Structure 1
Amino acid sequence: MTELTIWGRINSHNVKKVVWLTEEIGLPYVRHDVGLQFGMDDAYLAKNPNALIPTIDDGDLTLWESNTILRYLAAKHGGERWWPADPAVRALNERWMDWHFGYASAQHGAFWQNVRVPPDQRDPDAISRSVEATARRIAVLEAHLACNDYLSQGDFGIGDIPMGCYIHTWFALPIDRPAFPNVRRWYDRLLERPAYREYVAIPLT
């Protein structure tokens, strides 16, 4: 088997997605730090002209866009466990993969202000607006998780991966947050997974 190569720094939400799924499936891989302090050289930009991370090399295939990578890896290597044959079941899983982009946009301000902006330059109003917008999105998760243990149908699956990366940030940020007990229980279940603890639930940097 050709070893998978993942390009991207592990403190990126989108890189975490790919590494986490790869670990869950049990695929051998190597990862190279790219982005922010690690930069992007011309060789990387030739792979991904968007100047974003992650990118993977899998044999002769070079692929970017994190959720597309998740779908590819699940379909190629995951079997029914990760890529259900039933289109309806698969779609019910995948909808959360696409839904999470709106969530990520809402949470971005609170993350950026608290993690990437120096303390003396932070904008409390921007943080407050972001937290409020994020809480409105989390209310949708809360309602779904009231009668479901996971976002994926039946059991933990590919639908949990993208939001699982972002929900750690929600609970790790130094903010006042409303209580969402169902979401908290889901997060605690994710924390029971070794790959999640090692590669996703890490300090925010």
Structure 2
Amino acid sequence: MLKILGKAASINVRKVLWTCEELDLPYEREDWGSGFRATDDPAFLTLNPNAMVPVLLDGDLVLWESNTICRYLCAQAGRDDLLPSMPRARAEVEKWMDWQMGDLNNNWRYAFMSLVRHSPAHQDAAQLVAGISGWNKMMGVLEQQLQRTGAFVCGETFTLADIVLGLSVKRWLMAPMQRPDYPAIAAYHARLEDKTAVFAG
């Protein structure tokens, strides 16, 4: 059986849990991370030297990086609807997954750490303003894409890109800050809200 190491509150762990639900895959999960077993524990570091969750154990295979884990699970299950096998369609899904992990994450990090985690190291007023502005700007990119598709990130059907970006949308909407009125994102969030308890949580 698959084993997932990481606390369920982690957005990156929730990507993997949601993917497992979509694939109807049984798994065991162990709590690791802040508030639970520390990821700098030598036993954890032998699995992921970056000391980050999640980690997936599938037999003798050890995987880290949440988006990679999700891709692997979909490919193993042969779920072309979530992760297409044809190069062009697959690249479209992976493009948005990589955008989420790179551009979007880099823009929300300071504001999230300041406003939600209340990190003492992230309380500079000017950097917070810039962080909120950058976060909202990146969400504007997603708003434009959803206006074009009228449904999900890559078109009319739900894909792996919607798992990673759906959770990012929820994080943005829950952050205690001012944000633009993005109607396509609001409609997208409503479409996803009843899909899984992982998203709702």
> How does the TM-score come out when normalised to structure 1?
0.89
**Structure 1 residue 29 corresponds to structure 2 residue 18:** no
Instruction: Tell me: CA distance 1:78–1:130, structure 2 relative to 1, closer, same or farther (3 Å).
Output: farther
**Structure 1 residue 90 corresponds to structure 2 residue 96:** no
What is the aligned partner in structure 2 of residue 199 from structure 1? 198
Superposed displacement of residue 81, structure 1? 1.9
Q: After alignment, is 108-117 or 87-96 more displaced?
A: 108-117
The answer to whether the 8 A contact 1:74-1:83 is kept is yes
Aligned counterparts of 2:127 and 2:147: Cα–Cα separation in 1: 30
Q: Name the amino acid aligned to 2:183.
A: P
**Structure 1 residue 127 corresponds to structure 2 residue 125:** no
Aligned counterparts of 1:183 and 1:163: Cα–Cα separation in 2: 11
In structure 2, the gaps of 5 or more residues are none
Q: Name the amino acid aligned to 2:131.
A: S
Q: Name the amino acid aligned to 1:23.
A: E
What is the aligned partner in structure 1 of residue 111 from structure 2? 110
The answer to whether the 8 A contact 2:54-2:66 is kept is yes
Secondary structure of the 1:57 match is strand
The answer to whether the 8 A contact 2:193-2:199 is kept is no
Instruction: Tell me: CA distance 1:124–1:200, structure 2 relative to 1, closer, same or farther (3 Å).
Output: farther
Aligned counterparts of 2:116 and 2:55: Cα–Cα separation in 1: 24
Q: Deviations over 1:132-178 (max 9, x none)?
A: 10111111111111121111343011111211111101101111111
Aligned counterparts of 1:176 and 1:139: Cα–Cα separation in 2: 14
Aligned counterparts of 2:175 and 2:140: Cα–Cα separation in 1: 18
> How does the TM-score come out when normalised to structure 2?
0.91
Give me the CA root mean square deviation: 1.7
Secondary structure of the 2:81 match is helix
Secondary structure of the 2:29 match is strand
Aligned counterparts of 1:24 and 1:45: Cα–Cα separation in 2: 29
Aligned counterparts of 2:119 and 2:92: Cα–Cα separation in 1: 40
Secondary structure of the 2:51 match is coil
Superposed displacement of residue 131, structure 1? 1.3
Identity of aligned residues (%): 37
Aligned counterparts of 2:28 and 2:76: Cα–Cα separation in 1: 18
The answer to whether the 8 A contact 2:81-2:159 is kept is yes
Superposed displacement of residue 79, structure 1? 2.1
Aligned counterparts of 1:118 and 1:84: Cα–Cα separation in 2: 40
The answer to whether the 8 A contact 1:93-1:153 is kept is no
Aligned counterparts of 1:83 and 1:122: Cα–Cα separation in 2: 39
Secondary structure of the 2:200 match is coil
